[in-house]
Protein backbone atom coordinates (compact mmCIF):
# COMPACT_ATOMS: atom_id res chain seq x y z
CA UNK A 1 0.00 0.00 0.00
CA UNK A 2 1.33 3.43 -0.92
CA UNK A 3 2.08 5.90 1.85
CA UNK A 4 -0.41 8.45 0.48
CA UNK A 5 -3.19 5.85 0.32
CA UNK A 6 -2.45 4.76 3.89
CA UNK A 7 -2.71 8.39 5.06
CA UNK A 8 -6.13 8.76 3.41
CA UNK A 9 -7.40 5.55 5.02
CA UNK A 10 -6.06 6.71 8.41
CA UNK A 11 -7.82 10.05 7.95
CA UNK A 12 -11.16 8.36 7.23
CA UNK A 13 -10.65 6.05 10.21
CA UNK A 14 -10.04 9.07 12.46
CA UNK A 15 -13.24 10.60 11.14
CA UNK A 16 -15.18 7.44 11.98
CA UNK A 17 -13.73 7.42 15.50
CA UNK A 18 -14.75 11.05 16.08
CA UNK A 19 -18.25 10.33 14.76
CA UNK A 20 -18.65 7.42 17.16
CA UNK A 21 -17.22 9.36 20.08
CA UNK A 22 -19.59 12.26 19.48
CA UNK A 23 -22.63 10.23 18.38
CA UNK A 24 -22.81 12.12 15.09
CA UNK A 25 -24.67 10.74 12.11
CA UNK A 26 -23.07 10.51 8.68
CA UNK A 27 -25.41 13.31 7.63
CA UNK A 28 -24.16 15.55 10.47
CA UNK A 29 -20.51 14.83 9.72
CA UNK A 30 -21.01 15.46 6.00
CA UNK A 31 -22.55 18.84 6.85
CA UNK A 32 -19.57 19.71 9.06
CA UNK A 33 -17.08 18.76 6.34
CA UNK A 34 -19.05 20.39 3.55
CA UNK A 35 -19.67 17.34 1.41
CA UNK A 36 -22.69 15.23 0.57
CA UNK A 37 -23.89 12.30 2.67
CA UNK A 38 -23.35 9.91 -0.25
CA UNK A 39 -19.82 11.17 -0.78
CA UNK A 40 -18.91 10.53 2.85
CA UNK A 41 -20.57 7.12 2.73
CA UNK A 42 -18.44 6.12 -0.29
CA UNK A 43 -15.31 7.15 1.62
CA UNK A 44 -16.34 5.01 4.58
CA UNK A 45 -16.99 2.02 2.33
CA UNK A 46 -13.61 2.67 0.67
CA UNK A 47 -15.36 2.92 -2.71
CA UNK A 48 -13.64 6.24 -3.38
CA UNK A 49 -11.09 8.56 -1.79
CA UNK A 50 -11.50 12.20 -0.86
CA UNK A 51 -9.82 14.70 -3.16
CA UNK A 52 -7.05 16.93 -1.87
CA UNK A 53 -9.50 19.73 -1.00
CA UNK A 54 -11.80 17.37 0.87
CA UNK A 55 -8.85 15.85 2.75
CA UNK A 56 -7.97 19.37 3.92
CA UNK A 57 -11.63 19.96 4.90
CA UNK A 58 -11.63 16.68 6.85
CA UNK A 59 -8.41 17.66 8.63
CA UNK A 60 -9.90 21.07 9.58
CA UNK A 61 -13.09 19.44 10.81
CA UNK A 62 -11.18 16.90 12.91
CA UNK A 63 -9.06 19.67 14.39
CA UNK A 64 -12.16 21.69 15.34
CA UNK A 65 -13.94 18.66 16.77
CA UNK A 66 -10.95 17.75 18.92
CA UNK A 67 -11.01 21.23 20.47
CA UNK A 68 -14.60 20.77 21.66
CA UNK A 69 -16.21 18.48 24.20
CA UNK A 70 -17.87 15.36 22.79
CA UNK A 71 -21.65 15.12 22.85
CA UNK A 72 -22.54 13.32 26.05
CA UNK A 73 -25.49 11.25 24.89
CA UNK A 74 -27.00 9.99 21.71
CA UNK A 75 -30.41 11.22 22.87
CA UNK A 76 -29.10 14.78 23.15
CA UNK A 77 -27.65 14.67 19.64
CA UNK A 78 -30.87 13.19 18.25
CA UNK A 79 -32.93 15.87 20.01
CA UNK A 80 -30.73 18.62 18.53
CA UNK A 81 -30.91 17.02 15.09
CA UNK A 82 -34.72 16.83 15.25
CA UNK A 83 -34.94 20.44 16.40
CA UNK A 84 -32.69 21.52 13.51
CA UNK A 85 -34.84 19.60 11.02
CA UNK A 86 -37.90 21.46 12.28
CA UNK A 87 -36.11 24.81 12.25
CA UNK A 88 -34.46 24.53 8.84
CA UNK A 89 -37.84 24.97 7.16
CA UNK A 90 -38.37 28.30 8.92
CA UNK A 91 -35.01 30.01 9.36
CA UNK A 92 -33.31 32.31 6.88
CA UNK A 93 -30.19 31.46 4.90
CA UNK A 94 -28.16 33.82 7.10
CA UNK A 95 -29.42 32.08 10.24
CA UNK A 96 -28.53 28.68 8.76
CA UNK A 97 -25.03 29.90 7.94
CA UNK A 98 -24.58 31.29 11.45
CA UNK A 99 -25.78 27.99 12.89
CA UNK A 100 -23.34 26.02 10.72
CA UNK A 101 -20.49 28.29 11.81
CA UNK A 102 -21.34 27.53 15.44
CA UNK A 103 -21.58 23.81 14.66
CA UNK A 104 -18.02 23.65 13.38
CA UNK A 105 -16.55 25.83 16.14
CA UNK A 106 -18.16 24.69 19.38
CA UNK A 107 -21.04 22.30 19.97
CA UNK A 108 -22.29 24.12 23.06
CA UNK A 109 -22.44 27.38 21.05
CA UNK A 110 -24.35 25.49 18.37
CA UNK A 111 -26.84 24.25 20.98
CA UNK A 112 -27.33 27.76 22.38
CA UNK A 113 -27.92 29.19 18.91
CA UNK A 114 -30.32 26.34 18.15
CA UNK A 115 -32.28 27.11 21.33
CA UNK A 116 -32.30 30.83 20.55
CA UNK A 117 -33.73 30.16 17.09
CA UNK A 118 -36.31 27.76 18.53
CA UNK A 119 -37.48 30.46 20.92
CA UNK A 120 -37.49 33.08 18.15
CA UNK A 121 -39.70 30.88 15.96
CA UNK A 122 -41.74 29.67 18.95
CA UNK A 123 -40.81 25.98 18.53
CA UNK A 124 -40.97 23.70 21.54
CA UNK A 125 -38.28 21.03 21.73
Q: Say how far residue 22 (Cα) sits from the centre of its chain.
A: 10
Return the CATH number of the domain spanning residue range 3-66. 1.10.260
Structure confidence by residue, pLDDT tens digits, 42-74: 999 999 999 999 999 999 999 988 887 665 556
pLDDT, position 36: 93
Q: Tell me if 36 sits within 8 A of 30, measured CB to CB.
A: yes
**Quick one: residue 91, left, alpha or beta (phi over 0 = left, psi -120 to 50 = alpha)?**
beta
Q: Domain map of the chain by residue range? A: 3-66, 74-120
Amino acid sequence: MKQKEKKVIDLISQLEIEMDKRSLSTEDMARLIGCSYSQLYRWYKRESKPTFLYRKAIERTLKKLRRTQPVVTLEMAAKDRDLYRTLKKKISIQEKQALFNHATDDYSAYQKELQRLAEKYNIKD
